Every structure is written in C-alpha cells, then in structure tokens.
Structure 1
C-alpha cells in the first residue's frame, strides 16, 4: 500500500516528537481514524516510515532501479505518438528516453 506525501507527513506528525511520542500502535490507530476511507495501515508501516525519515531525512520514496516505467495509460501513449508526428525520424529508443518509458512500451 502506498501512502501519499501528505499522508506520510501526517503520519510523522501523529507519531509526535519531543516529550510526546506516541507508540507505533497508537500512531497507526490514530492515522486509521483520521483516514477512514483508505485501507488501514499497520504498526510496521509507522515504524518503517519513522525509521526511513530518521535515516534519510526525507519522506519521498527513493529512486527505483530496474525496469523503466511503461506507457500504461492513454495520455502517455498519445504523448509518445505525438513525438513521432513532430519528428518522423526519431528513433524508438530516443522517444522512450524522452518520455521516461521502456522501449517495449513505445507504440509503433
């Protein structure tokens, strides 16, 4: 389950700091009460979020390695196709690189 940046910040604020630090269980319960329309989080999510923030000093996900993103939505596909309309000589690898997707995702 992925938490938005706003939710991560809220979670850290719920956890507290200084003299008033809630337990992971208390923080998870309060977070779940605050966001009742989303799937509940576990204590381990609170612990991982706090540890990551303490270790790296930020809450955003670290850049991922591995396979590039694919063109999974219509908007991205249209953007890529527009590249070929604007420059019929553009290569598939170049179009993929410009749009941050894998070459296999370039519609041809």
Structure 2
C-alpha cells in the first residue's frame, strides 16, 4: 500500500461509493486496475484497509510514526554526572530530576555498561557459619 498516494486512496473510496450505491471490493479492484494499469495490482485486502482506515480516522493521510526521542550528548552526560554524584539515587528519581523518561535513563546506563540494582540488606555471617557449611556438606555426600 506504500505506492498508493492519497489521491489513489481517495479514488478507491469514490469507487466504493456510498449509501445503497456501493460496489464490492472485487469490483473496486477491477475498476482500479482499469483506471491505473501502470500501477502494481491491488488486492481486496488493500481496499478493505483503506475503507477501515477512513472509517476509523475520517481521512486517508499517512500518519507519522513516533520516533523515540534521542538524548543529546549533554543530556547523557548529565545522567552520568548525577549518578556519579549520588550513586544511591534511583533511576526513577534521576529521570524525574532531569525530566527524562525512565527508559532513557536505563538506556544511558546500558550504553555505559552500568547495571542498576537495588541494595538488599541481609544478615551478617556469624563466626561459626563456615563450620556449619562444612558439617552440612559432610552429611550430604555427593552421589556417584
């Protein structure tokens, strides 16, 4: 459908018709091929997509795709500096402070081979932990 201009799509809608004077998709395909023999043949699926697009949007314009916002080098540097100054700040807090999306912060970290993690406090090892590990391994010999 890339090769169809807006005028081609409008022509297809006109060929379909309106009210009680509508044509089938097969008839529209045949009429379009007669009108534009220099174009590659269209299918009934293309006619259906154009019909659906017009019904949903009310137009046949090609919508621009949202491209991801690229961060400038200065913004990337700001992210790295903020995390260098305060490494305990979360990536979400950093995103909020710099007015940058959270996913962009994570992307900058990944590009710089940094891996965000959350510190999880655990119990400390006791003096006799090593002895208990040895004792445990002696009770469960390896099966061969």
**Structure 1 length normalisation: TM-score?**
0.59
Unmatched 5+ stretches in structure 2: 70-144
Aligned pairs for 1:40-59 within 5 A: 40-59=41-60
The structural deviation recorded for 1:25 is 0.9
Give 1:29 shift: 1.1
Correspondence 1:30-69 to 2 at 5 A: 30-66=31-67
The structure with the larger Rg is: 2
Structure 1 position 48, deviation (Å): 0.3
Q: How many residues align?
A: 68
Task: Summarize the Cα distance change of 1:67–1:41 in structure 2 as closer, same or farther, 3 Å threshold.
Answer: farther
* Structure 1 stretches lacking a partner, 5+ long: 69-108
RMSD: 1.6
Q: For residues 22 and 65 of structure 2, what CA distance do their matches in structure 1 show?
A: 31
Deviation at 1:22, TM superposition (A): 0.5
TM-score, normalised via structure 2 length: 0.44
